[in-house]
């Protein structure tokens, strides 16, 4: 672990010609222009895409840093929240990029949480058939998960992330100073994905998660560890064709259905995933070998971060099942569902049937 004034070493995401670095540290926004310039020296005009909460806090620092590095940035701001991750908003952003005069030699900077990363990444992927983009994640969730791996896209009203493509960023800058302005709810939701990473890959991380909750852990180290887990999984199966990257979907089959059924923005992504994690962990005790003690440990961690464990009463099981059937892991009417053998060891199971999913939803009502 480096001393507090030393930046953590960057994480290298090794994807051959699409490889990139994830910088993790403090005070990185100020030097963002130089960093971007070293990755994209021959590109000048760019769109800095942000939201109405993050823009007023951090856009000026980013714009100034880009200008000092000789770039010509145009700021594009969408309303904060999940509702902006839509086809309609992507059309608006793309039109703004045209109005700003961006061409095939331009690039995009995604400044914000996972909503901005997914939306801006998608716009970069499709603008004039693809221009590069840099991720500048400003939430715990986006730093440990969404800014790495190149999944970009938007929601449909009844299906999460249903439209999108893989488009890797050319660089990721995770400045932990930006987390200082996160409200408690947005801070906590990021830990759903951190707990997910521990569940699927690294049981030894549970202690670090507890330590951070108790105010004695090293958050830079924890975020860097999570980025390294995400990078390793993505490197092993970039396009989710081998059943390895699918493990990052632990808790997401029902979690995504709950997020969409509740109405985008009512539950934050991490909150919906907390419910999905509970359901998937419970199913791991029913269909797989997870012990009830391990299940209780996962619940205790989610509780530590005030994450929801009970389904909102107004969400109907049949509606949730209908949305669940649109999950990208449903093939020929059969679900490939991610379960745990034990904490730290996940696998894709074909043994989970619709009846099991309904039972798990009932469990979430207790």
Ligand X SMILES: NC(=O)c1ccc[n+]([C@@H]2O[C@H](COP(=O)([O-])OP(=O)(O)OC[C@H]3O[C@@H](n4cnc5c(N)ncnc54)[C@H](O)[C@@H]3O)[C@@H](O)[C@H]2O)c1
Catalytic residue numbers read 129, 151, 193, 230, 240, 245, 249, 252, 256, 269
For ligand LNCXM5UN, the closer of residues 10 and 251 by Cβ is 251
Does residue 82 bind ligand LNCXM5UN (CB under 6 A)?
no
Q: Which of 154, 156, 99, 97 is nearest to 127 (CA)?
A: 97
Q: How many CB atoms lie within 10 A of CB 103?
A: 12
CA distances to 119, 173, 365 from 51, in Å: 11, 17, 34
Residue 193 engages ligand LNCXM5UN in binding (rule: CB under 6 A): yes
What is the DSSP secondary structure assignment for residue 339, as one 8-state letter? E
Read off φ and ψ for residue 318, nearest 5 degrees: -65, -40
Q: How far is CA 325 from the centre of its chain?
A: 22
Q: Is 249 in the site for ligand LNCXM5UN (CB under 6 A)?
A: yes
What tokens does 91 get?
A: 């059309």
- Give the single-character DSSP code of 340: E
Does the footprint of ligand X cover residue 141 (CB under 6 A)?
yes
What Rg, from alpha-carbon coordinates, does the chain have?
20
State the Cα–Cα distance between residues 165 and 182, nearest whole angstrom.
29
139 is in the binding site of which of ligand LNCXM5UN, ligand X, none (Cβ under 5 to 8 A by kind)?
ligand X
Q: By CB under 6 A, which span of 35-43, 215-223, 266-274, 295-303 interacts with ligand X?
A: 266-274
116 lines the binding site for ligand X (CB under 6 A): yes
Would the annotation count 210 as a binding residue?
A: no
Instruction: Locate 32 and state its tokens.
Output: 């963002």
* Footprint of ligand X on 167-226 (CB under 6 A): 178, 181-182, 186, 189
Binding of ligand LNCXM5UN by 116 (CB under 6 A): no
Decide which of ligand LNCXM5UN, ligand X, none touches 328; Cβ closer than 5 to 8 Å per partner kind: ligand LNCXM5UN
Q: Is 138 annotated as a binding residue?
A: yes
Map the footprint of ligand LNCXM5UN across residues 131-190, applying CB under 6 A: 145, 149, 151, 161
User: Which 3 state secondary structure label does DSSP give 126?
Assistant: helix
The C-alpha atoms of residue 64 and residue 50 are separated, in whole angstroms, by: 15
List interacting residues with ligand X (CB under 6 A). 51, 53-54, 57, 80-82, 85, 112-116, 118, 138-139, 141-142, 145-146, 149, 151, 161, 178, 181-182, 186, 189, 268-270
For the annotated binding site for Zn(2+), the residues are 193, 252, 269
């Amino acid at each position: 672990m480096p001393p507090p004034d030393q930046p953590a070493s960057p994480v290298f995401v090794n994807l051959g010609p699409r490889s990139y670095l994830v910088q993790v540290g403090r005070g990185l926004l100020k030097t963002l222009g130089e960093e971007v310039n070293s990755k994209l020296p021959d590109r000048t005009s760019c769109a800095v895409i942000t939201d109405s909460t993050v823009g007023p806090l951090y856009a000026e620092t980013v714009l100034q840093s880009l200008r000092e590095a000789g770039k010509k940035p145009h700021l594009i701001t969408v309303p904060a929240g999940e509702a902006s991750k839509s086809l309609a908003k992507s059309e608006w952003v793309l039109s703004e990029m045209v109005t700003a005069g961006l061409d095939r030699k331009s690039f995009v900077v995604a400044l914000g949480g996972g909503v901005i990363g997914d939306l801006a990444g998608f716009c970069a992927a499709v603008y004039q058939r693809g221009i590069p983009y840099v991720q500048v994640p400003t939430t715990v969730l986006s730093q440990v998960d969404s800014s790495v791996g190149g999944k970009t896209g938007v929601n449909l009203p009844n299906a999460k992330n249903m439209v999108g493509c893989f488009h890797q960023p050319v660089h990721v800058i995770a400045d932990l100073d930006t987390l200082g302005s996160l409200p408690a709810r947005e801070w906590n939701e990021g830990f759903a994905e951190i707990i997910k990473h521990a569940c699927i890959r690294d049981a030894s991380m549970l202690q670090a998660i507890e330590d951070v909750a108790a105010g004695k852990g090293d958050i830079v180290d924890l975020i860097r560890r999570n980025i390294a887990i995400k990078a390793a999984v993505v490197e092993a199966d970039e396009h989710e064709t081998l059943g390895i990257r699918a493990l990052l979907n632990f808790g997401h089959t029902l979690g995504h259905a709950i997020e969409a059924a509740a109405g985008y923005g009512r539950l934050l992504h991490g909150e919906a995933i907390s419910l999905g994690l509970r359901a998937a962990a419970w199913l791991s005790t029913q269909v797989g070998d997870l012990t009830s003690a391990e299940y209780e440990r996962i619940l205790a961690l989610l509780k530590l971060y005030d994450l929801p464990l009970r389904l909102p009463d107004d969400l109907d099981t049949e509606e949730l099942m209908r949305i669940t059937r649109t999950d990208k892991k449903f093939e020929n009417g059969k679900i490939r569902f991610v379960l745990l053998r034990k904490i730290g060891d996940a696998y894709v199971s074909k043994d989970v049937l619709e009846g099991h999913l309904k039972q798990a939803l009932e469990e979430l009502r207790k």
